[in-house]
Amino acid sequence: MKAVVFHEFGGLDVLKLEEVDDPQAGPGEVVLDVAASALNHLDVDIREGISRFPIEPPHILGVEVVGRVSETGSDVKGWQPGDRAMVFLMDVCKDCRYCRTGRESLCVEPGFVGFSTSGGYAQKIAVAAGHLVRLPDDVPDEEAAALQIAFATAWHMLFTRGRLRAGETVLINSVGSGVGSAAVQLARIGGATIIGTASTDEKLEQAAELGMHHGINHREQDVVAEVMRLTDDQGVDLAYEHVGGDHFQSALDSLCKDGRLVTCGAHAGEVVPFDIIPFFRGQKSIIGSFVYNRDELERCIKLAQSGDVKPLVHKVFPLEEAREAMAMMERREHFGKIVLKP
Ligand SMILES: [Zn+2]
């Protein structure tokens, strides 16, 4: 099969399109013919060797994969060749204290597609059957590939970790990104008033079409001052943060008293100082969020099926153009996901 492989950590030029052996389905595994594979900023960190996950080259990137089962190994039940499936990011043990209490995103022995297996920048992928989620026929391949991490992460952050309720006001940072634009769509369904930030007016206009009520251009406007103006100096109930650096501090300063900040990322700065005094006097909370549960993903697939949310696909590239696709993502000019089709 064809696959995009890197043999050393580095920039775009380490990506090579190669002919490699077809993966085989071991016990409990299936092989999927990949139909679509979405790009993630995490892929850049993995390629550069700064992801803080234990990955050694040679490696095939790609954690958001959709395809059709082409082969099933021994001990696989419920899946047949031809079945359409999404690869759930995690394969959890189902047995640790977190799995047993409905918190599988905290599983102590998770397997991750694209980390503990090879990834989706390829024509085929072998994964444990425990990774598979059934995909309804009326969600197209590209949209399904674009859905998982953006929407399920946003669901876990907004509703499970952030406890967003109807009538609350939420600040969503970087609404042009995958997790940002998904959060706008889900917070709209959840009945929240949505204030969003972005680096360009164009991205703010696109987010407004998805249901964002107020936009702030963080390059030209003071985010905290604008939030306070829009909320009668109260601040927001929930800040949805995934950017890090200065964006983390401005989100924290935008909270009302007893407000919550939920965070899942830090590309713009992983270590930040923050002012402890107003934080505890205002009885604010900072909440960490990591991945999502299968149930949350399945709810998001249902919302895409019913048309209540629309996974955004910015551009589809053939596998051969993986470098161009990653370059586009790294320029951060896109609105929605970039998807590879083998
Ligand atoms: Zn577990």
Q: How confident is the model at residue 113 (pLDDT cuts 50, 70, 90)?
A: confident
Whole-model pTM? 0.92
How close is the Cα of 99 to the center of ligand 1, in Å? 4
3-state secondary structure 195-227: EEEECCHHHHHHHHHCCCCEEEECCCCCHHHHH
Pick from 141-155, 190-204, 228-242, 262-276: least confident: 262-276
Q: What is the predicted pLDDT for the residue at 268?
A: 87
User: Mean pLDDT over residues 123-131, rounded?
Assistant: 94
How close is the Cα of 5 to the center of ligand 1, in Å? 30
Q: Hey, what long-range contacts does 322-327 have (CB within 8 A, 24 or more apart)?
A: 322/4, 322/15, 322/17, 322/121, 323/12, 323/13, 323/15, 325/39, 326/12, 326/15, 326/39, 326/43, 326/44, 326/47, 327/12
User: What residues sit around ligand 1, an ion, with C-beta below 5 angstroms?
Assistant: 92-93, 96, 99, 107
Q: From CA 85, how far away is CA 270, in angstroms rounded?
A: 34
| pLDDT at residue 59 tops 90 | yes
| pLDDT at residue 281 tops 90 | yes
Q: What is the predicted pLDDT for the residue at 64?
A: 95
Continuous H helices in the chain = 41-48, 97-100, 141-147, 153-155, 178-189, 201-209, 223-230, 246-253, 276-281, 294-306, 322-331
How close is the Cα of 100 to the center of ligand 1, in Å? 7
Summarize pLDDT for 163-210 with one digit per residue, the tens: 999 999 999 999 988 899 999 999 999 999 999 999 999 999 999 999
How close is the Cα of 106 to the center of ligand 1, in Å? 7
Q: What is the predicted pLDDT for the residue at 53?
A: 84
Q: How confident is the model at residue 282 (pLDDT cuts 50, 70, 90)?
A: very high
User: Mean pLDDT over residues 49-60, rounded?
Assistant: 90
Of the candidates 129, 97, 102, 98, which has an alpha carbon nearest to the alpha carbon of residue 113?
129
Q: How confident is the model at residue 91 (pLDDT cuts 50, 70, 90)?
A: confident
How close is the Cα of 63 to the center of ligand 1, in Å? 20
Of the candidates 283, 282, 245, 281, which has an alpha carbon nearest to the alpha carbon of residue 263?
245
Residue 165 β-bridge partners: none
Q: What is the predicted pLDDT for the residue at 118?
A: 87
Question: Angle at Cα 226 formed by Cα 221 and Cα 230, nearest 5°?
Answer: 150
Cβ neighbourhood burial of 67 (10 Å; 0-12, 13-18, 19+) = buried
Q: What is the predicted pLDDT for the residue at 117?
A: 81
pLDDT averaged over every residue in the chain: 95
Q: What is the predicted pLDDT for the residue at 236?
A: 98
User: Mean pLDDT over residues 212-234, rounded?
Assistant: 98
Q: Which residue has the tokens 């048309």?
A: 307
Q: What is the predicted pLDDT for the residue at 267?
A: 84
Q: What is the predicted pLDDT for the residue at 174?
A: 94
Of the candidates 45, 32, 31, 93, which has an alpha carbon nearest to the alpha carbon of residue 329?
45
How close is the Cα of 165 to the center of ligand 1, in Å? 29
How close is the Cα of 174 to the center of ligand 1, in Å? 32
| pLDDT at residue 340 tops 80 | yes
Q: How confident is the model at residue 116 (pLDDT cuts 50, 70, 90)?
A: confident
Of the candidates 86, 80, 95, which has an alpha carbon nearest to the alpha carbon of residue 127?
86
How close is the Cα of 319 to the center of ligand 1, in Å? 34
| pLDDT at residue 14 tops 90 | yes
Q: What is the predicted pLDDT for the residue at 114?
A: 81
| pLDDT at residue 140 tops 90 | yes
| pLDDT at residue 304 tops 90 | yes
Q: What is the predicted pLDDT for the residue at 41?
A: 86
Q: How confident is the model at residue 333 (pLDDT cuts 50, 70, 90)?
A: confident
Residue 10: both structure tokens together: 């580095």
How close is the Cα of 220 to the center of ligand 1, in Å? 45
Could you give the 3-state DSSP secondary structure of residue 24? coil
